[in-house]
Structure 1
Amino acid sequence: MLRLALQGMRTRWVTFIGSFIALALGVGLIATTGLALAATFAAPDRGPERFAKAPVVVQTSALIRARTPIGERTQRIPHPDPVPAAVSAKLAALGPVVEDRTFPVSGPGLSEDTVGHPWSVAALTPYRLTSGRAPSAPGEAVATADGPPAGTTLRAATGTGTGTGTGTGTGTEQVTIVGTVASAGFESALFFTDAEAARISPAIDAVAVTAPADRVRAAVGGGFDVLTGDDRRRADPDPDRDKEALVSVNALLGTAAGVTGFVSVFVVASTFSFAVAQRRREFGLLRTAGATPAQVRRMVFTEAFVIGVLASAAGCRLGATGAPRLAAWMVDAEIAPPWFRIGEQTWPLHTAFWTGLFVALAGVVVSSWRAGRVGPTEALRESAVDSRAMPLSRWLIGSAVLATGLGLLALALADNPGDLLKRKTYITQPMLLIVGFAVFAPVLIRPLTRLLTWLPARLPGALAMLARENASAGVRRTAAVAAPVVITVALAASLMGTTATISAAKATEAREQITADYIATAGGNGRALPAEFVQRARAVPGVPGVHISPTRSSAVVVMEEGTALVSSEAKAVDPAAHAAVSHLPVVAGRFTDLDDDGIVVNEEWLTTKVGSRVSVWLGDGREVSLRIVAVLSTGTGSNGVYLTPRNAPNAPVDRVDIAFSPGTDPATAAAALHSAAQATGVRLLTGDQWIQAHYPRSDKNTRLGLWMILGIALVYTGIALANTLMMATSDRARDLAALRLTGATKAQVLRLVAAEALLVVAAGTILGTLVAGVNLLGVWSALGLLDASSAVVIPWTTIAAVTATTALLATTASILPASLTLRTRPIEQVLC
């Protein structure tokens, strides 16, 4: 049987090469994304950075610890309390101490994330002077190498911006750079004298002490972290940034692996099934010669096994070569952190290999079973025309898959519409619908092709009529060619349309909520805004009245169902001031009832009854019981929790919304605000400008990630489309020769082949657009249920570009093999 299978493979090498290419590329994609995904499971081991030379570091505990029936749960808090001066004094009795203070610094020539430190803490990194000298007087500073050079004088805004007494908010000062240090790579910093840093920010963030760790623990007691060894990294700025960076990369690659795995498996199974269906005449001859159904099936499985082993091995080699290149591209595109590399894991290669082999064998199960069941005469009679496009098993499978896809969509709309707005959901949601429509392609293709050719077939000439009849007669071939088109168009339209629709809904929601004339931020995410700007904004000259609402970004942690600590973003505002600059979607209670004993939640919370009390941990780790005073609609997910400033201690002001009262001269007020913003290094935008800057565009990583996922799928399905068409066209040598013998010229035959390819692409595009339309309708319905209605954004440009590309590929992949076939004399093709 193996010898017979190998002889058949040598004779029909075009068909088997096509199957080999499809499978090798599919396994290669699975291996590539699998290796990249495996590299995200562990962050690199890094030692301490800012306090690498500090023996012991003490800071207030930044973790919430809660006991649950399934063990202790922890959650990091954003704004722990500073180290009390009394504790620092105790530590000073044990040995030399260095007090660290960190505060934002902004100004011309400084990066958005520049921070200030006392000079004494520089030796703990260690930072070494590369030019100039150490600061010795107020107004002097040393900069890291990525900052301004020595000798530069600039106006810098300093201060924590908390406005709570923990920082003086000294405002704008003239700073002279008297020296520089080599950059450590994890921060841009200015180092002031210790006395100047203490004046700017009296709060002590951490204390480095030279003393035995056990004596330090005994001195500080509970509520503090005493860090030694590698644990000192927890005192570094953003110590979890490596893990957090991998979380987003893991989510992206996990989604990419799912999409590419789905596309690969589907296309490979379709290609193998089509390759078997092409050989019905050969099977009929074998049955006539005395082969039993079992022998036919064993031969087909043997061929699939041989191709599966060879192609899967080749695909693993492609994956091992392609994974480092994918990782390098992600680093260059800033999707992944600079240190991201492919590890030494081999399990993705094993997974890809056995997946490829399984798909190869599974792809021929139904077709080989059907080929073995028919009798010799029936097989020869059916070899020319597909009289029955779909067996009962395919009807049942297609119905089950389509019903499951539509059922899950309906269930999500009924139970939790917000899930449909999440990236993993709206990327993977269309897959079942794509499979369902593609399984029914043999049934749907015939009426579609007849509809598309209805008018052209009535025009003079036989081209459209022949294209229609050929597509209808070879419906399995047509469906196999249309499958990659359906996947390509459906994925492209669904991904781009869904993200555009959700972004448009977010923009609409923001326009409805923001009524401020201007919005001021410090640039960075959660970066403190200088207190001087708020003071100057409140004193805008010549204005009858101005509403100013400073916002502090914090977080609250709640225990859900007694087992999980869940963190939610929170904004601390003055309710009356914020109500004057915004219009929040309150569905229960009153926002202005917010006080120090209250909290505003959204509909996603487990408890949403106004007047009920909820136990939460605040941003500094304190556990309090707060009364729900209002509930906001869920919307697109941006409506979070609101507190009063008293319940967000240590959180800096990072945004200020400003609205002018009636009678205010807009030009005068705007000029004063812009002057204050320029003097303090604040970014000031009008409400419309702020919305345009943040909406409807998604962030860079999301856009690049989607294009990466879509690009991988499009490239593969494009190659699969060309591969399948070449297989199909090369198998029609006798049909093309018969056309030549009836008087058709070579040019007419090639035009017919091209017309058939374009007809299949058009039918596949319609099916793919229909799948995308169902998915977009689900997203639109979810937005409506969440009170975030928005028009559906149909990505016509993307659909047109994908359709044009597939049409070009299909035409080229059809004409080239047909041209080669037409070089042989027609009579030789018919008699062979």
Structure 2
Amino acid sequence: MLRLVLHGLRTRWVTLAGSFLALALGVGIVATTGLALAATFAGPPQAPERFAAAPVVVRGEDEVRVRTPAGVRTQKLTDPRPVPAAVAARLAGLGRTELDRTFAVSGGGADGASGRASGAMAGHPWSVAAATPYRLLSGRAPSAPGEVVVAAGTGSAGDRITLTTPAGPGRWTVTGTVRPAPFERAVFFTEEDAARLSPDIDAVVVHAAPARVRAAVGEDSGLAVLTGDDRRRADPDPDRDAEALVSVNALLGTAAGITAFVSVFVVASTFSFAVAQRRREFGLLRMAGATPGQVRRLVYAEAALVGLLASAAGCRLGLSGAPRLAHWLVHQGLAPAWFAVGDQNWPLHTAFWTGLAVALTGAVAAAHRAGRVRPAEALRDAAVDSGTMPPVRVVLGAAVLLTGAVLVVLGLVQDPAGLLKRKTYTTQPMLLITGCALFAPVLVRPALRLLTWLPARLPGATGLLVRENASAGLRRTAAVAAPVLVTVALAASLMGTRATIDAAEAAEAHGQVTADFVATEEHGDVPQEFVDRARRIEGTRVSASRATSVTVLEEGTALIRSDARAVDPADAAAVSALPVVAGRLTGLDDDSIVVNEEWETHRVGDRVRVWLGDGREVTLRVAAVLATGTGDNGVYLTPRHAAGAGVDRVEIAVRAGADRRAVERELRAAGRATGTEVLTRDAWAAAGAPGGGSTRTGLLMILAIALVYTGIALANTQVMATADRVRDFAVLRLAGATGAQVLRLAGAEALAVVAVGAGLGGAVAALNLLGVRAALGRLGVPAAVVVPWEAVGAVVAVSAALAVVFAVLPASFALRTRPVELAGARE
């Protein structure tokens, strides 16, 4: 048996080359992503960055901790409470202290060419710099009002720069520079200026024994005493690395899963087509006395040998590719700067055995078909394929399609919002795609007839020959069309679903804001001076809101945090059209809350226990309930529960009868005076429209993988098919066709088959996108389906080019032999 297997591999290496490449690539991608995934599980310990030189740091707790029957649950707080002045005074009695105040600063420019200040920065008092990595590179520390120290590259000593602080824009003198830090762009003010701009104390650096500090702070104070590596909790955005690793984990996991799916499909398709080509060979083996079991074992042995070789090659590819993938993730900003592949071995073992399992799984159907070949097949030389859909494949395809349809229907009935989640819309479409791919031999013939109906009736024989050749070689046609179907369906389903959801979210946000103008501050708070000036403009209705959060305990064990917005209910009702399904927004007061339908407690009048953004626990009455929508409909509170958050959005509506142009002029003048950007409603909605990010990057990576597999499948199938068509080409040549005409026919047939695959893939994608549209309709979100024509067009164009190239090139080599010799060729 082994000798027969090795002889078969040696004589049919072209046939198995596609399976080897597809499997090696699949194992390589699984190994690469696995090694990168392993690196996300155990990153190096992260030392404190900003307060690396501070012995003890006291700040507000950044977590809420709730004891449940399943243990203590925690959630991050968005607005840790400041350190009370009384506590800071007690700490000062223990030893030297530095008070830290952090506030948003943005720059407008510097006088002269020596420096330039621009973008988002963080303001601090100079006294706290001693506890941080910042040291003077040039100049001196700020000592008088209006003086600052900036990071090198932002300005130079002696520059006059414009900075927008919580008090508005102003001119400041640079007295010195410090070395830039990777975690923030700092601007240092005098202690007096910092206290004026940001009265709250965010943290206190204490030079005393930690035990004495804890005793001075006291228990249940809502303050944390940080030492050692815990000082990292006081860094700017201390969870950014962990959140980035979670995104990388999801991205790589999805890529590995879809790689396994596509590789199984391609390998199974390749083995199936190869077995169909070897019917006469298997028939001869049966005539020579081979049993069906021996024929099946022959196919399994070939698959196992190919699987072993391809898996070994793929693991080697993974070892080379994983460091490059890690570098790319860091370069794209998707992973932390320290991210690198470690020395874990388990991803290589997983990839190797997965590759072998994929090879054997892909050969199951082929081995079963090979075992059913009868001895009489050795005498057959049929030109037309028949029996291309065995009952097992029909049952399997129907089961997969039915499962996919049932999941969509159940999702629409029970949880339409769940269909919009990334894990669902990246995995669930695979069922419909797989089902339609299994039915490809049945679907290809009518689709091909429909596509070639007009060309077959045009003058000349090309259209008719394309239709008849493709219909006669149905297995070949299905083998070429199926990978195109999968890739087009993936591109249209994944990219289209994401684009449709993005458009729905943008439309939902645009529809909920009825204000004519919106003023926001991305990196800080909108100055109170702007709010006051906007309120004084005749003919306006102004709503100033604050972003915060609330945390609720659901089902006794799940601690869930929701984004919240603190508003004045009367003002908010005048500038918004929230999707209220029960109660009234104007019923909101200091003892109540507005929730959405996703909350466990969402009946008007019920009371719910929540933790505010600074950790305070309160019990509030449900005043109104919002529709779930796309998932961005958050919670609304009054400013009393804003946990100290500043105004970050101001919505201005022009009253009926007021002069809109005059209002706009005054608003923009107020914006210029306070350093606040004023946008129209449409411009604000466009600026905040979702899109891009790691999700799009991940989808593009998946499509690139699928496209590579499509190229391998097309090349392999077309090369294998050419060996069977040399006699057809010879007959055409003997009938008077020139070599160029034969090549054009081969290219036209390849294009027709790709068009069939693209059409079927588009139909599958349409079903998936209609499911998403139905889910949005169930949620009451008006949205149209967005078709990613650019991505689909690129996939179809690349597939068509590959199909034509790999159809024409082997045919051109075959045509070099004399037609008389080709006509007499036998298998």
Bucket of the pairwise TM-score, normalised by the shorter protein: over 0.9
Query: Which residue in 2 is equivalent to 1:209?
Result: 206
Cα deviation for residue 215 of structure 1 reads 1.6
Cα deviation for residue 127 of structure 1 reads 1.1
Change beyond 3 A, Cα 1:639–1:272:
same
Distance 2:37 2:264 in 1: 18
Distance 1:615 1:602 in 2: 15
Q: Deviations over 1:48-104 (max 9, x none)?
A: 111111111111222111111111111111112111111112222221111111111
Identical counterparts, % of pairs: 65
1:586 and 2:580 aligned: yes
1:603 and 2:600 aligned: no
Distance 2:175 2:18 in 1: 69
Query: What amino acid maps onto 2:133 in structure 1?
Result: P
Cα deviation for residue 309 of structure 1 reads 0.8
Secondary structure of the 2:25 match is helix
Segment of structure 1 superposing worse, 75-84 or 245-254: 245-254
Cα deviation for residue 153 of structure 1 reads 1.7
Segment of structure 1 superposing worse, 147-156 or 186-195: 147-156
1:132 to 133, 139, 144: 139
Query: Which residue in 2 is equivalent to 1:557?
Result: 551
Query: Which residue in 2 is equivalent to 1:19?
Result: 19
Cα deviation for residue 205 of structure 1 reads 1.0
- Is there any run of 5+ residues in structure 1 with no aligned partner, and where? 160-169
Distance 1:286 1:433 in 2: 38
Check whether the contact 1:19–1:275 (CA below 8 A) recurs between aligned residues.
Answer: no
Secondary structure of the 1:113 match is strand
Distance 2:748 2:44 in 1: 55
Alignment of 1:396-435 (within 5 A): 396-435=395-434
Cα deviation for residue 740 of structure 1 reads 3.3
Check whether the contact 2:282–2:373 (CA below 8 A) recurs between aligned residues.
Answer: no
Cα deviation for residue 115 of structure 1 reads 1.5
Cα deviation for residue 741 of structure 1 reads 4.0
Check whether the contact 2:542–2:571 (CA below 8 A) recurs between aligned residues.
Answer: yes
Query: What amino acid maps onto 1:786 in structure 2?
Result: L
Query: Which residue in 2 is equivalent to 1:756?
Result: 749
Cα deviation for residue 795 of structure 1 reads 2.9
1:443 and 2:437 aligned: no
Query: What amino acid maps onto 2:125 in structure 1?
Result: P
Query: Which residue in 1 is equivalent to 2:541?
Result: 547
Distance 1:65 1:125 in 2: 29
Q: Deviations over 1:523-551 (max 9, x none)?
A: 33xx22222221222233xx2x3211111
Query: Which residue in 1 is equivalent to 2:522?
Result: 523
Q: Deviations over 1:447-495 (max 9, x none)?
A: 2112222232233333333322322222222111111100111011112
Distance 2:478 2:693 in 1: 37
Segment of structure 1 superposing worse, 627-636 or 190-199: 190-199
Distance 1:506 1:769 in 2: 24
Distance 2:717 2:42 in 1: 40
1:176 and 2:169 aligned: no
Change beyond 3 A, Cα 1:705–1:678:
farther
1:122 to 119, 129, 136: 129
Query: What amino acid maps onto 2:134 in structure 1?
Result: Y
Query: Which residue in 1 is equivalent to 2:783?
Result: 790
Alignment of 1:386-785 (within 5 A): 386-524=385-523, 527-540=524-537, 543=538, 545-695=539-689, 697-785=690-778
2:805 to 809, 812, 817: 812
Check whether the contact 2:266–2:709 (CA below 8 A) recurs between aligned residues.
Answer: no
1:229 and 2:222 aligned: no
Secondary structure of the 1:175 match is strand
Aligned length: 816
1:831 and 2:825 aligned: yes
Segment of structure 1 superposing worse, 227-236 or 346-355: 346-355
Cα deviation for residue 261 of structure 1 reads 2.3
Cα deviation for residue 713 of structure 1 reads 2.0
Distance 2:15 2:649 in 1: 64
Q: Deviations over 1:671-711 (max 9, x none)?
A: 2222222232222211111112223x514433333222222
Cα deviation for residue 237 of structure 1 reads 1.3
Query: Which residue in 2 is equivalent to 1:196?
Result: 193
Distance 2:281 2:272 in 1: 15
Segment of structure 1 superposing worse, 646-655 or 529-538: 529-538
Cα deviation for residue 382 of structure 1 reads 6.5
Cα deviation for residue 634 of structure 1 reads 1.2
Query: Which residue in 2 is equivalent to 1:33?
Result: 33
Cα deviation for residue 641 of structure 1 reads 0.4
Check whether the contact 1:83–1:205 (CA below 8 A) recurs between aligned residues.
Answer: yes
Change beyond 3 A, Cα 1:425–1:438:
same
1:218 and 2:215 aligned: yes
Change beyond 3 A, Cα 1:382–1:532:
farther
Moved over 6 A (4+): none
Cα deviation for residue 42 of structure 1 reads 3.5
2:155 to 139, 148, 151: 148
Check whether the contact 1:523–1:683 (CA below 8 A) recurs between aligned residues.
Answer: no
Check whether the contact 2:299–2:366 (CA below 8 A) recurs between aligned residues.
Answer: no
TM-score (norm 2): 0.95
Distance 1:340 1:724 in 2: 40
Segment of structure 1 superposing worse, 632-641 or 375-384: 375-384
Q: Deviations over 1:265-295 (max 9, x none)?
A: 2112222222222211111122222222222
Cα deviation for residue 642 of structure 1 reads 0.4
Cα deviation for residue 41 of structure 1 reads 2.4
Query: What amino acid maps onto 2:674 in structure 1?
Result: T
Cα deviation for residue 496 of structure 1 reads 2.4
Distance 1:382 1:608 in 2: 71
Cα deviation for residue 185 of structure 1 reads 1.2
Query: What amino acid maps onto 1:356 in structure 2?
Result: G
Check whether the contact 1:79–1:650 (CA below 8 A) recurs between aligned residues.
Answer: yes
Secondary structure of the 1:150 match is coil
Query: Which residue in 2 is equivalent to 1:60?
Result: 60
1:263 and 2:256 aligned: no
Distance 1:503 1:450 in 2: 38
Check whether the contact 1:780–1:792 (CA below 8 A) recurs between aligned residues.
Answer: yes
Change beyond 3 A, Cα 1:42–1:731:
farther
Q: Deviations over 1:153-204 (max 9, x none)?
A: 2333323xxxxxxxxxx44443211111001211111111122212222211
Distance 1:316 1:70 in 2: 41
Distance 1:798 1:189 in 2: 42
Cα deviation for residue 667 of structure 1 reads 2.8
1:158 and 2:158 aligned: no
Query: What amino acid maps onto 2:151 in structure 1?
Result: T
Query: Which residue in 1 is equivalent to 2:112?
Result: none
Cα deviation for residue 383 of structure 1 reads 5.5
Distance 2:91 2:741 in 1: 93
TM-score (norm 1): 0.95
Segment of structure 1 superposing worse, 555-564 or 454-463: 454-463
Q: Deviations over 1:569-612 (max 9, x none)?
A: 00001111111111111111100110011111111111211111
Check whether the contact 2:35–2:341 (CA below 8 A) recurs between aligned residues.
Answer: yes
Check whether the contact 2:491–2:791 (CA below 8 A) recurs between aligned residues.
Answer: yes
Cα deviation for residue 220 of structure 1 reads 1.1
Secondary structure of the 1:471 match is helix
Secondary structure of the 2:73 match is strand
Change beyond 3 A, Cα 1:40–1:379:
farther
Distance 1:12 1:701 in 2: 43
Segment of structure 1 superposing worse, 738-747 or 255-264: 738-747
Q: Deviations over 1:312-360 (max 9, x none)?
A: 1112222222233233333333333333323322322222221111111
Q: Deviations over 1:238-262 (max 9, x none)?
A: 1111101212222222222222222
